[in-house]
Amino acid sequence: MKKLYWAVYATVLLCVIGTAVFLIVAPDRVPMHYNFAGEADRVGSKYENLLYPLFAAGLGAFFLVLAKFQGKKGETGNEKILALAGVCVVGFFTLLGFRFMWRALRYDPESARNVSYDDINRFVSIGVGVLLAVLGNVMPKAKRNSLFGLRTKWSMANDDVWQKSQRFGDIASVLAGLTLIVLSPFVPGMWNILMMSAVVLVLSAVCAAASRRYCLEDRAARENGAKDR
């Protein structure tokens, strides 16, 4: 468990160090926002990039507080999952920040186009796919809780329904994640973000429907058992 906690700290530290290096080598004014054509439409102080380590530290603290809360309750499995989620989410955000900093360093004010949104959209979609695959894979290890996992009013009915829902969510999330990882490199522009949004919406709907089915089946089985007695 301590290794996961230290992994969160290390990921935040990586973001801090990377941003510090960027501030040393970057010019005073760098692009801070791009339009959909990939053109820089706002240039600002390089120190605005300090928001990346600040936000990374905030995310890390958020997940660690949740993890420690679960640990104090004796839910070590949920504690481990939340710590792992912290590593993944902070790591994804850190890499995304580095991506934009690298783009800023390559900025050429004489060029009409300085960033490819195809690359950024693909990076985001693939990152979300990896998060779905990794975090979905640990869902069956989570005990019933109000913080993590496939949580619907049906999946929270009892422990049996919860476990069935998490196992289904595991398979569905991994498949959705792999779909994004495989297809994202070939989908251009905003279509990539639309595809990612559609995959996430379908995943949510399918998982909710599955948890409802498990709940109704469990309820019917209990009612039949009561009648038999």
**124-180 pLDDT tens trace:** 899 999 999 988 888 888 888 877 888 899 999 899 999 999 999 999 999 999 999
The whole-number pLDDT of residue 5 equals 92
Do 1 and 79 meet the contact criterion of CB atoms below 8 Å apart? yes
The C-alpha atoms of residue 182 and residue 25 are separated, in whole angstroms, by 35
pTM of the model: 0.78
pLDDT-derived band at 227, boundaries 50, 70, 90? low
209's enclosing H/E stretch is helix 189-228
The whole-number pLDDT of residue 217 equals 93
User: What is the overall mean pLDDT for the chain?
Assistant: 87
Q: State the DSSP string of 35-85.
A: -TTS-EEEEEEGGGGGHHHHHHHHHHHHHHHHHHHHHHTT-HHHHHHHHHH
pLDDT-derived band at 19, boundaries 50, 70, 90? very high
Higher pLDDT, 154 or 42: 154
Q: For residue range 93-134, list pLDDT tens digits in order.
A: 999 899 888 888 877 666 545 555 667 788 889 999 999 998
